[in-house]
């Protein structure tokens, strides 16, 4: 697909909305502006036929969301309500922004407790902050996510302002902690 702001957030949200748990993803933008995204979803069923049907459902949902036939917020909300007994593990959230790891990009690494829809929330936050994701490396180890994003501002530059870096870090930490800003500046806990 042609790359555009929020593409990764839309794809991740569609996967979450269809009940798919992303365990690994490699996200790249080609020099001609196309998105090349490889997403690995954890297996849910023992039988291959059942997995194929689920994969087709996830694919259709991604197509429907990208074409505007389906609307993500309602779908994600239904699918991402926490189950009783979830959050057994405590993984302290972490968000770091580094400019020394790449010549062209600021590198953002986030770590925290996985939950349905988290990747969609993180990438939505990055888009809300007017950051362009050139590459993303998504990894899940059991209940722990470690996601790395290579980003620039909308003019293609690294993020070098200490105040802007602090804002990005604070917003990502809030997202990792499940605090979602609402319109009007108020916040609410995610999926409660």
Rg, C-alpha atoms of the chain: 16
Q: For the segment 45-104, what is each residue's pLDDT rounded down to a tens digit?
A: 889 998 888 888 888 888 888 787 876 665 555 555 555 445 567 899 999 999 999 999
Q: For the segment 119-137, what is each residue's pLDDT rounded down to a tens digit?
A: 989 999 999 999 999 889 9
85-99, 144-158, 171-185: least confident range: 171-185
Closest CA to 176 of 130, 138, 119, 136: 119
Q: For the segment 24-50, what is each residue's pLDDT rounded down to a tens digit?
A: 888 888 888 888 888 888 888 889 998
Closest CA to 135 of 55, 57, 32, 38: 38
CA distance 188 to 129: 18
What are the structure tokens assigned to 156, written together? 């293609």
**What's the pLDDT score for residue 110?**
98
Indicate the pTM of the whole model: 0.77
Give the H/E segment covering residue 22: strand 22-29
Contact present, 3 and 46 (Cβ < 8 Å): no
């Amino acid at each position: 697909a042609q790359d555009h702001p929020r593409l990764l957030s839309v794809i991740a949200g569609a996967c979450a909305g269809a009940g798919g748990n992303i365990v690994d993803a490699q996200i790249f933008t080609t020099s001609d502006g196309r998105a090349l995204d490889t997403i690995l979803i954890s297996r849910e069923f023992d039988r291959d036929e059942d997995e194929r049907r689920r994969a087709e459902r996830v694919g259709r949902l991604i197509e429907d969301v990208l074409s505007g036939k389906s609307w993500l917020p309602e779908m994600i909300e239904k699918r991402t309500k926490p189950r009783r007994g979830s959050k057994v593990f405590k993984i302290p959230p972490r968000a770091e922004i580094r400019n020394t790891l790449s010549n062209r990009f600021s590198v953002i690494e986030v770590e925290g407790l996985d939950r349905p829809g988290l990747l969609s929330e993180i990438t939505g936050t990055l888009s809300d902050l007017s950051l362009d994701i050139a590459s993303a490396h998504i990894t899940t180890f059991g209940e722990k996510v470690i996601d790395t994003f290579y980003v620039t501002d909308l003019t293609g530059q690294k993020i070098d302002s200490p105040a802007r870096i602090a804002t990005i870090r604070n917003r990502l930490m809030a997202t990792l902690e499940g605090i979602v800003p609402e319109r009007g500046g108020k916040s609410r806990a995610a999926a409660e």
